[in-house]
Amino acid sequence: MRVRSPEFKTRAVAALSEVDLQKALRQGKAGFQGKRASAISVVPEWQQIRSDAKLMKDHALENLDHYLLQYEAAVQANGGTVHWAPTAVDANRIITELCTAADAELVVKGKSMISEEVALNDALEAAGMQVVETDLGEYIIQLAGEPPSHIIAPAAHKTKEQVSDLFEAAHGGPRIDDRAGLVTEARQVLREKFLNADIGITGANLFVAETGQHLLVTNEGNGDLCSCVPKIQIVITSIDKVVPTLEDAAATIRLLARSATGQHISNYTSFYGGPRGEGELDGPEQYHVVLLDNGRSSMLGNAFKDMLRCIRCGACMNHCPVYGNVGGHAYGWVYPGPMGSVLTPNMVGLEDTLDLPNACTLNGRCAEVCPMSIPLPDLLREHRRLQFQRGLGSGAARGALAVWAKAALRPRLYQAMSRPVIKTLAIFAGKRGAYKKLPGLAGWTSQRDLPAPQGDTFMAQWQAEQRNKS
């Protein structure tokens, strides 16, 4: 997928005036936040469940090589095959070869962010296969020719009318206007695909070293039809998703559904671990797992290690004021919102993603709601630090920062320079206490008022206070 993150600013501005998008974002935000809050309010043990899961995942990552090799051995014992893909290109090559070897014509897919990350559909289509997304949201955006705008609700940006338009064009009408009718039509169209598919490809929410199983969570049941009906099952996942035992999987399951959709558990929480056994009447004849690295093994050793705990619930973006206003497409790649702004620079490079870590108010809500306690604002700040260190970003901003840093290291000079400015701003603001416009600050004041300083500098007020006390 083409990286459009360098266009963040222009696309964000455009998003603010898209009426349908703004309507969809408002609906989505209220729904996600409310459902999560009410699901957590009935679990007094929430913080303990959260901290246990964090410790568990840190343990798994500290011993990642051990658990990956144990997992591979367990899958082999179950009769399946593990394929290792250091890069996106490797993953696409491996899966294309598996499909070609099976003479596959039709591939059905469950929603997988990893397959979006490697742009698997493009690779399979280039090899002449028909690829059909079966998660309703993914199916909608596949018809629209768009990338997902949210990691768990890929079509969160589409209104019902837009879905009606897409279905009418793709299915040949008649036009259906009601939601239930649209769902039924997709069910009928896609059921044919499940029954005729040669291969089913899904992602995995995690995989278990102890048993060699992967976990697949859906609410529609499409992932299970992909996994149970076609003759060949292929799973694409990434190395960070290993957990040691089924007990550790349960700890993650508890956090995932509540954080994502506010459910106590997802409708279909399924563990798969190999091809059909002797005497079984259904199930795939082949079971393949592709383990993608794509930079994660390096992140394990740098400042972004904590990001590898992410379970892709989407809570951070559901509570982010920036995501809530500009939507997922503005971010310009696969992963949007706070988790995306941490991951994307790691995967596509700092140079093409300069705006992402800066499009953040550092209000900290993402870290508060993150079930795996990932310090997202700290990681975004780390990207900003790296940008500065490597001399990236606008010259004006860097110059201003350098001047500020020099002054800030000299307290007397800093006081002498800042105090007159602050006092003047306080006096001219008058009773209003804020500025609607200021020369040179249009970037700020075009969207909101600039609050005026309160009379004098903090240092001056503090010293006055101390004098009064003594």
Partner 1 sequence: MNGREQIIRTVRRSLGRDSGPAAPQVAALEHRQASRPRHARPSVGPDLVAQLKQQMARVQMTVTELNNSDQLGSAVAEFLQEHQLPLAVTISPELSDTAWPETLEVHTGAARAEDLSSVTACLCAIAETGSIVMAASPQSPATLRFMPDNHMVVLRRAQVLSHLEEAWAVLRAQPGSMSRAVHINTGPSRTGDVEQVIEIGAHGPRRMHVFLID
Identity of residue 131: V
In the complex, least distance from residue 248 CB atom to partner 1, rounded to whole angstroms = 6
Of 87 and 454, the one with the shorter C-beta distance to partner 1 is 87
Q: Cα 223–224–229 angle (5° rounding)?
A: 110
User: What phi, psi does 384 have (nearest 5°)?
Assistant: -60, -40
Of 200 and 377, the one with the shorter C-beta distance to partner 1 is 200
Of 37 and 413, the one with the shorter C-beta distance to partner 1 is 37
In the complex, least distance from residue 279 CB atom to partner 1, rounded to whole angstroms = 4
Distance CA 210, CA 423 (A): 66
Counting beta carbons within 10 angstroms of the beta carbon of residue 378, is it exposed (0 to 12), middle (13 to 18) or buried (19 or more)?
middle
From residue 142, how far is each of 134, 136, 467 by CA, in Å? 10, 10, 69
In the complex, least distance from residue 36 CB atom to partner 1, rounded to whole angstroms = 13
Of 79 and 393, the one with the shorter C-beta distance to partner 1 is 79
In the complex, least distance from residue 8 CB atom to partner 1, rounded to whole angstroms = 25
Q: Tell me the torsion sign for CA atoms 62, 66, 71, 74.
A: negative
In the complex, least distance from residue 117 CB atom to partner 1, rounded to whole angstroms = 16
Question: Any bridge partners for residue 201, and if so which?
Answer: 109, 234
Q: Cα 24–320–305 angle (5° rounding)?
A: 130
- Tokens (6 digits) for 203: 């992602």
Please choose, from the candidates 112, 150, 171, 122, the residue with its C-alpha nearest in 3D space to the C-alpha of residue 2. Answer: 122
Of 136 and 367, the one with the shorter C-beta distance to partner 1 is 136
* Contact in structure between 208 and 249 (CB atoms under 8 Å): yes
Distance CA 296, CA 148 (A): 22
Of 62 and 105, the one with the shorter C-beta distance to partner 1 is 62
Of 189 and 425, the one with the shorter C-beta distance to partner 1 is 189
Alpha-helix residue ranges (DSSP H) falling in 172-310: 179-196, 222-228, 246-260, 296-299
Give the DSSP letter string of 288-354.
Answer: EEEEE-TTHHHHTTSTTGGGGG-----HHHHT-HHHHHH-SGGG-SSS-HHHHHHHHHHHH-SGGGT
Of 239 and 376, the one with the shorter C-beta distance to partner 1 is 239
In the complex, least distance from residue 402 CB atom to partner 1, rounded to whole angstroms = 33
In the complex, least distance from residue 11 CB atom to partner 1, rounded to whole angstroms = 23
Of 288 and 422, the one with the shorter C-beta distance to partner 1 is 288
In the complex, least distance from residue 222 CB atom to partner 1, rounded to whole angstroms = 4
In the complex, least distance from residue 327 CB atom to partner 1, rounded to whole angstroms = 14
Please choose, from the candidates 270, 273, 277, the residue with its C-alpha nearest in 3D space to the C-alpha of residue 289. Answer: 273
